[in-house]
Amino acid sequence: MKINKLFFILGLLFCFQSISAQSYMVVRKKGSARRYEYRPGNYLVYLQKGNTQFFRDRITEFADSTIVLENNILRLNQIQTINVSEAFSNRAPIWRGVEDVLPIAGIGYLALDIFNDSVIDGNPISLDEGVTTTSGALVLTGFALKWMRRKKVDLTNPKFEVYIVGF
């Protein structure tokens, strides 16, 4: 019985010997912990050197320092700019949630106050100064967080680097 288990484990090790981790592309600023990751199946929005418009294409695989896309094959040094707004980032998920929720909360707070004041209390429609200021601050904070987030990485700038991991 013990010999059967030993052969089973050795057989599994032999079968899974050639399995390796999936490779992915990393875009980051040198010296920073923030990184953007692209895996096969993700969309890459990029500006190729010598072109004036951005292209959007799905990544199929990585080979050495080459990205194989559905409609193109690129070397990493051919990419001038990458739009990182759709990339996976190690940014705290709470910030992405906050920038989406704050504008909705501000508008909802203002609408709830108007509804409460006019429909429930029966007063004519008016805006309370404190509620308007608070809801405006919520909306502006949410949009400011969204505006401050990095959207593009210029790879011609020596501060940024792109490389493929796991190949």
Q: What is the pTM of this model?
A: 0.66
Tokens of 53: 């418009």
**Residue numbers of the domain that contains 81:** 21-90+150-165
**Residue type at 15 in one-letter notation:** C
Would you say 62 and 23 are in contact if contact means Cβ atoms under 8 Å apart?
Answer: yes
* Residue pLDDT, tens place only, 126-139: 888 999 999 999 99
* Residue pLDDT, tens place only, 28-81: 989 888 899 999 999 999 999 989 999 999 999 998 889 999 988 999 999 999
Residues 124 and 160 in one domain: no
Domain count, the chain: 2
Backbone φ, ψ for residue 38 (5° rounding): -125, 130
Tokens of 120: 């429930």
